[in-house]
Amino acid sequence: MSDFTYVSTWQGWLYVAFVIDVFARRIVGWRVNSTMRTDFVLDALEQALYDRQPASSDALVHHSDRGSQYLSIRYTERLAEAGIEPSVGSRGDSYDNALAETINGLYKAELIHRRAP
């Protein structure tokens, strides 16, 4: 599961992408960048693939929202190369990506705004 969020800094906006292992309930890939280009989320995916090193026999599904980065040709081609089935949420249904949105909220609450969850 993947998503990204934005954070306001003194020097402008930064974007933070997360790749989450839903079964283990942990972040397995992440990246920070000043742009929302496809490279940014691809780097987070590469980190997750390196961290988890899935076996070719594993049936993996990668879920994301309908963001243009996750629907890009380069991103979907990389998923296919890794043998991962892409899945995107339905339009207007925030529950499809609830875990990723929760991670984004906890990240902002605990690390950015320094509040307990």
Specify the CATH number for the domain of residue 72.
3.30.420.10
Averaged confidence pLDDT in the chain: 83
Assigned domain for 26 exists: yes
* DSSP codes of every residue in 27-91: EEEEEEESS--HHHHHHHHHHHHHHH---TT--EEEEE-S-HHHHSHHHHHHHHHTTEEEEEPPT
Assigned domain for 108 exists: yes
User: Average pLDDT, stretch 62-88?
Assistant: 91
Structural domain of 36: 2-112
Assigned domain for 84 exists: yes
Assigned domain for 56 exists: yes
Assigned domain for 12 exists: yes
Question: Tens digit of pLDDT for each residue in 42-63?
Answer: 999 999 999 888 776 578 899 8
Buried b (16+ CB within 10 A) or exposed e, 81-97: ebebeeebbeeeeeebb
Assigned domain for 73 exists: yes
Name the domain count of the chain.
1
Assigned domain for 117 exists: no
pTM: 0.80
